[in-house]
Amino acid sequence: MSLERAYEAYQKAATDEPNNFEFYRNSLIKTFEYTLETCGKLLRKRLEPFFAGRMAVDALTFKDVFREAHHRGLLDEETAERWETYRDHRNRTAHEYGLELAEKAVSNMDTFIQDAQNLKEIIEHE
């Protein structure tokens, strides 16, 4: 929900508060990063029953978690690939700076929010 609120504020600031637009964009990107990390952690927990133990799941990289979710039938291939792309965007925005990177991360926000909502349903459905 906080991601949705940050995105709405960002969109509103684009027209209503151009002097504060950068602040809202940066806030949205940080909320995106937090949401992405949370989704990965929660999906790890959802994958635990497929593994011998928690340590095996914890050994997976972030992208491997989503590949494994696809392999286990929790995500389709296209969705798993989008999550990998989201991770790439997060890594770039966290370690590099610039308007182009920020705008690229924000450009897929509608899809990311929908994927996060769908993932919530998958995680809650055990």
AA identity, residue 100: E
pLDDT of 19 higher than 60: yes
Tell me how far apart the alpha carbons of residues 28 and 1 are, in angstroms, rounded to a whole number: 12
pTM of the model: 0.87
Long-range pairs for 31-36: beta carbons < 8 A, 24 or more residues apart? 31/2, 31/3, 31/6, 32/3, 32/6, 32/90, 32/105, 32/106, 32/109, 32/112, 33/90, 33/93, 33/94, 34/2, 35/2, 35/3, 35/112, 35/116, 36/86, 36/87, 36/90, 36/112
Model confidence band, residue 97 (pLDDT cutoffs 50, 70, 90): low
Tell me how far apart the alpha carbons of residues 64 and 49 are, in angstroms, rounded to a whole number: 16
Model confidence band, residue 86 (pLDDT cutoffs 50, 70, 90): very high
Model confidence band, residue 15 (pLDDT cutoffs 50, 70, 90): confident
Tell me how far apart the alpha carbons of residues 63 and 87 are, in angstroms, rounded to a whole number: 8
pLDDT of 94 higher than 70: no
Q: Which domains does the chain have, with CATH numbers?
A: 2-124 (1.20.120.330)
Span 31-85, pLDDT tens digits: 999 999 999 999 999 999 999 989 999 999 999 999 999 999 999 999 999 999 9
Integer CA distances (angstroms), 104 to 66, 76, 95, 124, in order:
21, 24, 14, 30
